[in-house]
Amino acid sequence: MDNLQSLKRQVEQCLLTHQPNPQETISMYQFHVDFYGHLLSWLKAQSTYPQFYFNLRDSAEKLCAIGKVRSFSEVFSANQFVQQSGFTLIGGLTFDGASCFYLPRLLFQQQQNRLTLSVFIDNQVAFSEEKAAIAPLLDNLARYMAFDDIHSNRLQLIDQAHNQAAWCNMVQSALQALQHTELNKVVLANASDFQCIPALNAKDFLRESELVNTHCYHFLFAQDAERCFVGSSPECLYQRQDNHLITEALAGTAFVHHDTQQNQQQADWLLHDSKNQYENWLVVEGICQNLKHYAQNIDVSPLSIKQLRQVQHLYRQIFVELAPHIGDDRCLQAIHPTAAISGLPQQIAIDFIQKTEKFDRTWYAGTLGFISPQRAEFCVTIRSAIIEHNKIRVFAGAGIVEGSDPLLEWQEIERKAMGLISLLQSTTTQ
């Protein structure tokens, strides 16, 4: 018997015997099975929202969830709930810092070929209502939907928040602000809207991205059936195990060449280029300034290179020993948004972005991940897109510092966007 069929039976059995315990506001049941399928293919067959998928960058671990039992619009209360209940919350913050954390109805945690399903039941709601809410999820629990090939889907650029000329003007005004104000760095971004024929399924798209955009986090967050936020990001906001936190500065960019020798030359150039070094260092400075009140010790690694498919970046890890009782609410608020996606000084950069960019970043350059009592992990939601029926909006940004060249920064954001766009056939080049 398929292992999801067996999971379904176990959950059904458990619901038959569930006795709401008045001491327990929420009950959790956990089931373990071996699993050789793909959680995105399972998710594709589900019709309950919100939907969440998080494939971690540095380990063979994936989280996948549907439905919602509790939600928290403040990180403080989200963290408090995690500490009190011991449960894992998923979600994150938009670029603007709006918080969206929730306890899903079904949470899958996959570690290699081992799958754990947690089912949450709210004892503050009549059990008959809970059973009725769970029934449709159970109907679909053992279902998969095969991936469709997306290689023949065609993309056509229909609109851009900033075309090349407008982008160059925007970078020029940032360069002026860098000269005449306290601003040291500002990360400007663009949104490009494509029509996709035929309409694109977000799960097929993310599956394709997972195959080629390796060494990245892969995430999907759909609050409803209408639109879905997806992406493959190389950037970790932080990972925490007890009071040990690792964060990073990933900033400073060169293109990737197919020729190994030329690629190595690019990497060597990037490692020694003062503009890119400065762009990266400001991220380290921003993070250290914001975390110093919460840390007992901070160590910064030497510069290295993170190679991706289209671009390569300067990379430093930052190892932090947190002071006692510092929760993920404080960590998130201190680190997000880093100078890799906002700038420095942080508030001046955010104000500049808000008055200059002609689109709303929403979940782009936000953060998604999970919080549990012992550990938490969040990625920075760059290299991302919103898929809505037959439209896809792709986001890309670049750090502007003294010495930035508007046209080179334009090429940089176009290259970054290619990480996702190149998964499909683009019929328009600009």
Ligand X SMILES: C=C(O[C@@H]1C=C(C(=O)O)C=C[C@H]1O)C(=O)O
Question: So which residues are the catalytic ones?
Answer: 185, 235
Of 410, 363, 384, the closest CA to residue 94 belongs to: 363
Contact call for residue 394 and ligand X (CB under 6 A): no
Contact call for residue 70 and ligand X (CB under 6 A): no
Q: Considering beta carbons, is residue 121 or 267 the nearer one to ligand X?
A: 267
Question: Pairing state of beta strands 217-222 and 51-55?
Answer: antiparallel
Residues pairing with 192 in the sheet = 160, 394
Q: Considering beta carbons, is residue 45 or 305 the nearer one to Mg ion?
A: 305
Contact call for residue 398 and ligand X (CB under 6 A): yes
Stretch that binds Mg ion, among 79-87, 325-333, 350-358, 393-401 (CB under 5 A): 393-401
Q: Which residues inside 309-348 make contact with ligand X, applying CB under 6 A?
A: 313, 340-341
Binding mask 203-242 for Mg ion (x = CB under 5 A): ----------------------------------------
Contact call for residue 250 and Mg ion (CB under 5 A): no
Half-sphere exposure of 248 (CA within 13 A, CB side): 22
What contacts 354, CB < 8 A, 6 or more positions away?
none
Residue 243 φ/ψ, nearest 5 degrees: -100, 15
Exactly one of 103, 170, 189, 303 binds ligand X (CB under 6 A); which one?
189
Query: Cβ distance 150 to 200 under 8 Å?
Result: yes
Q: Which of ligand X, Mg ion, none interacts with 82 (beta carbon under 5 to 8 A by kind)? A: none
Contact call for residue 398 and Mg ion (CB under 5 A): yes
| CB atoms closer than 10 angstroms to residue 144 | 18
Contact call for residue 383 and ligand X (CB under 6 A): yes
Q: What single DSSP character describes residue 161?
A: S
Query: Cβ of residue 363: shortest distance to ligand X, in angstroms?
Result: 12
Stretch that binds Mg ion, among 14-22, 230-238, 391-399, 418-426 (CB under 5 A): 391-399
* Six token digits for residue 275: 């503009």
d(CA 336, CA 350): 12
d(CA 171, CA 397): 11
412 appears as a binding residue in the annotation = yes
d(CA 221, CA 227): 9
Residue entry with tokens 């053992």? 142
Contact call for residue 266 and Mg ion (CB under 5 A): no
What contacts 362, CB < 8 A, 6 or more positions away?
94, 95, 229, 386
Q: Considering beta carbons, is residue 242 or 360 the nearer one to ligand X?
A: 360
d(CA 153, CA 346): 40
388 appears as a binding residue in the annotation = no
Query: Cβ distance 394 to 191 under 8 Å?
Result: yes
Of 201, 283, 296, the closest CA to residue 249 belongs to: 283
Q: Considering beta carbons, is residue 38 or 313 the nearer one to Mg ion?
A: 313
Stretch that binds ligand X, among 68-76, 125-133, 265-273, 397-405 (CB under 6 A): 397-405
Contact call for residue 251 and ligand X (CB under 6 A): yes
Contact call for residue 253 and Mg ion (CB under 5 A): yes
Stretch that binds Mg ion, among 58-66, 219-227, 302-310, 390-398 (CB under 5 A): 390-398
* Six token digits for residue 355: 């008055």
Q: Which of Mg ion, ligand X, none interacts with 383 (beta carbon under 5 to 8 A by kind)? A: ligand X
Query: Cβ of residue 1: shortest distance to ligand X, in angstroms?
Result: 44
Please state the residue numbers annotated as binding site for Mg(2+): 279, 412
| Residues contributing to the site for ligand X (CB under 6 A) | 187, 189, 235, 250-253, 279, 313, 340-341, 382-383, 396-399, 416
